[in-house]
Amino acid sequence: MTATFDPHSHPHRRLNPLTNDWVIVSPHRTQRPWEGQRDTSAAPASAVEHDSDCYLCPGNQRSTGATNPVYDTTFVFDNDFAALLPTVSSPHRAHSDELLIAEAAAGECRVICFSPRHDLTLSRMNRDETMAVIVLWQDQLGELQQRWEWVQIFETRGELSGSSNAHPHGQIWASDFIPDEARREIATQASYHSRTASPMLLDYARREADDGERTVAINDHWIAVVPYWAYWPYETLVLPRRPLASLLDVTADESDALAEVLSTMLRAFDQLFNTPFPYCSGWHTAPKSAAPGFQLHAHYYPPLLRSATIAKIPASYELLANLQRDLTPEAAASNLRAAAASRPAQVSTSTDRAGAGR
């Protein structure tokens, strides 16, 4: 006789409704003997407020020869090595071959420094400092979306995730096209909305708020969850709790509430393995053109799996066949909630509100 299905111990598949990809969940594999990489000491967080060798610190010179202003809040500049440029030439198809297709891709790329302090990450900022970053996101989005179809706000944190500089910073790439991942999410949300007359991710936020098993942080305006379909071990999804398509529509009260949820979630990340948690993250905010049923959200994709230095690397089966994870999203959320509650919030000592107003 087949045993009654238990999602916490039996292998199964879960569908990601945003991408229509399936994720294999194999919780029984967390009990297998581990003969792979063992943990070593994690790199500590930067202990200096200003690094004379850092090209993002105030007053320092960048590789192009430009000198940063002595900024005292957030700071934005055009990326010195931009992946997209505002004016580009159109490529020609090779002999009109349908297998060799290229087209022009134009845009703007910017670097955004969250703080003048080299050692102050988002996870350690106080609420006013986090609010200043949210306002910066909104201001940049409002300006760039006047010229570009899609504005991707993102952060790559930590060497393990591919960050080239330890100074707390993110990037913005604006483009005249909608990138593949966003295009898929726009299509799935529009399809859901046409069937239900409700935003997919708003319905999902309501279900997660009622359930609570995968919730990491929640208040009246926002919820952060390990999504039911998560692939990365400690992947999280940040969602508004009302219909909200764009960061530009986030009110001052909602920004304050978002700062609270982000702080709780990011502190939990850092506390989980007692290390500055690496991750790739970004906001999906509505494009310039119409997107029925689109709901604002942020993805956080941390690679850490077992400890401060052991990351999940997509293995052969995943690259050739199907995404797969061992730790269940429910267990991951439980671990993060425990980490968030394990000690008081760590915040900076700064009380300056400079840059927090719009």
At residue 103, the pLDDT reads 86
Active site residue 169: yes
Q: What are phi and psi of 70, to 5 degrees?
A: -85, 75
* Rounded Cα gap, residues 235 and 9, in angstroms: 20
Tell me what pLDDT residue 283 has: 98
pLDDT at 258: 98
Q: Using CA atoms, how far apart are residues 218 and 238, in angstroms rounded to an integer? A: 10
pLDDT confidence of residue 2: 61
Q: What is the mean pLDDT of each run of 10 residues along the chain (358 residues)?
A: 76 95 87 44 67 96 94 96 90 71 91 96 95 97 98 92 90 97 98 98 98 98 98 97 98 97 97 93 97 98 88 90 94 95 55 35
- Residue listed under structure tokens 């990326």: 79
Specify whether the CB–CB gap between 56 and 69 falls below 8 A: no
Which residues are within 8 A (CB) of 196 and not within 5 positions of it... i.e. 6 or more apart? 203
Q: Residue 328: its pLDDT value, please?
A: 94
Q: What pLDDT was estimated at residue 261?
A: 98
The Cα–Cα gap between 27 and 309 comes to 22
Q: Distances in Å between the alpha carbon of 216 and those of 227, 263, 267, 306?
A: 10, 11, 11, 19
pLDDT at 9: 79
List the structure tokens of 270: 């850092």
Domains of the chain, first to last: 46-93+100-340 (3.30.428.10)
- Inter-CA distances, 149 with 112, 146, 174, 183, 249, Å: 20, 8, 7, 12, 17
Catalytic residue among 167, 169, 193, 284: 169
Residue 308 is predicted with a pLDDT of 87
